[in-house]
Amino acid sequence: MARALSPTTADAPSVTPAAATARPRRRVRRGLFADYLFLLPAVLFISVTMLYPVYTNLRMSLHDVTVMTFLRDNAPYVGLQNYRELVADPVFHKALGLSLIFTAGSLVFQFGIGFALALFFNRPFPGNATLRALLLLAWLLPTVVSGSLFRWMLDGDFGVVNYALVSLGLLDDGRYWLIDPSTALAGTILANVWVGIPFNMALLLAGLQGIPQTLYEAASVDGATGWQRFKSLTLPLMRPVSLSVLLLGLIYTFKVFDLIYIMTGGGPVDATTVLPIYTYRLTFSFFRFGDGAAAATLLLVGLVGVALLYLWAVRREEAA
């Protein structure tokens, strides 16, 4: 005779495979919801501080925004007319060329001197950390302070640069470096190089310290000279870091405004009117808000394009 089931055994519900898998899924959903909830403040911050201003700037670039239409919020829609006017403006072409010269000149010296200093500080010696901290002061100083400092140093009457060159016999008389159109841009490049060297040095030094020393030791055992180790080990292994430093330097330098504005204000006779200065003048000197927004949009698109090109090249290299 079959044994009767107890009430406890008979009433126990059976757990189906579907119910067993549904519980982990609910836990995963709760975990994803919590993750998105933690990301929400960052998304809101980026949206408010970056995406909305970009959208507003793009919208203004498609309208004929003046002081009156801006206050009344009834600017007429003109499509791409502001962009066509910019492309046809010879001052825009000159500003673009000056921006390229300023960026290229700054990057060459910032990166070259920064790399040399990184190689120098990569070797232990007494006072290494102290010297590095002192060099970083140039980068930590506010740009307004750096610009004012170089404006005084390059002053034609009381500048220390003139005093040093005249004392060494390299000049017969002082020059007005920032008033002369032929030397004003070089003066701003000099200041920007001084500001950017510590940043390049710090990042490149971090990359050098990430290279295993055993590779250099093995190369030395094989009889490689210092130059051969640098050419065959340091340069190839530093390539990703170097490209990142150059990209960051390009983005920062191409949009430099405050340093040049403090030193020359874009003058003399537009000799230092780079794209950010040109955009500022359109917007706040001539009150052509639509044209200024169009110039800012072109600047943004150009920098984003360079960044995307860099990411594409990196992914292609990793895939290869």
Confidence of residue 224 (pLDDT cuts 50, 70, 90): confident
Q: What is the pLDDT of residue 5?
A: 47
Where do we find the tokens 């044209």? 291
What Cα–Cα distance (Å) separates residue 211 from each residue in 202, 217, 231?
15, 12, 14
What is the Cα Rg of the chain in Å? 30
Q: pLDDT tier at 312 (50, 70, 90 boundaries)?
A: confident
Confidence of residue 25 (pLDDT cuts 50, 70, 90): low
Q: Which residue has the tokens 């009150």?
A: 287
Report the pLDDT value the prediction gives residue 115, as an integer from 0 to 100: 96
Q: What is the reported pLDDT for 260?
A: 96
DSSP 8-state code for residue 75: P
Cα gap 248→229, rounded to integer Å: 27
Could you say which of 3.40.50.12240, 3.40.1710.10, 1.10.3720.10, 3.40.50.2300 is the CATH number of the domain covering 83-319? 1.10.3720.10
Average pLDDT over residues 240-269: 93
Residues of the chain with CATH 1.10.3720.10: 83-319
Residue 188 has what pLDDT? 97
Residue 275 has pLDDT above 90, yes or no: yes
Residue 14 has pLDDT above 60, yes or no: no
Lowest mean pLDDT among 35-39, 252-256, 259-263: 35-39
Band the pLDDT of 194: cuts 50, 70, 90.
very high
Give the least confident one: 24-33, 36-45, 67-76: 24-33
Element (H, E) at 199: helix 184-209
Strand partners for 77: 63
How big is the chain, counted in residues? 320
**Range 68-89 average pLDDT:** 90
pLDDT tens column, 279-294: 999 999 999 999 999 9
Query: Given pLDDT bands bounded at 50, 70 and 90, which one contains residue 318?
Result: confident
What confidence score (pLDDT) does residue 41 get? 85
> pTM of the predicted model, to two decimals?
0.84
Q: Is 69 exposed, middle or buried (0-12, 13-18, 19+ CB in 10 A)?
A: middle
Q: Is pLDDT of 17 > 60?
A: no
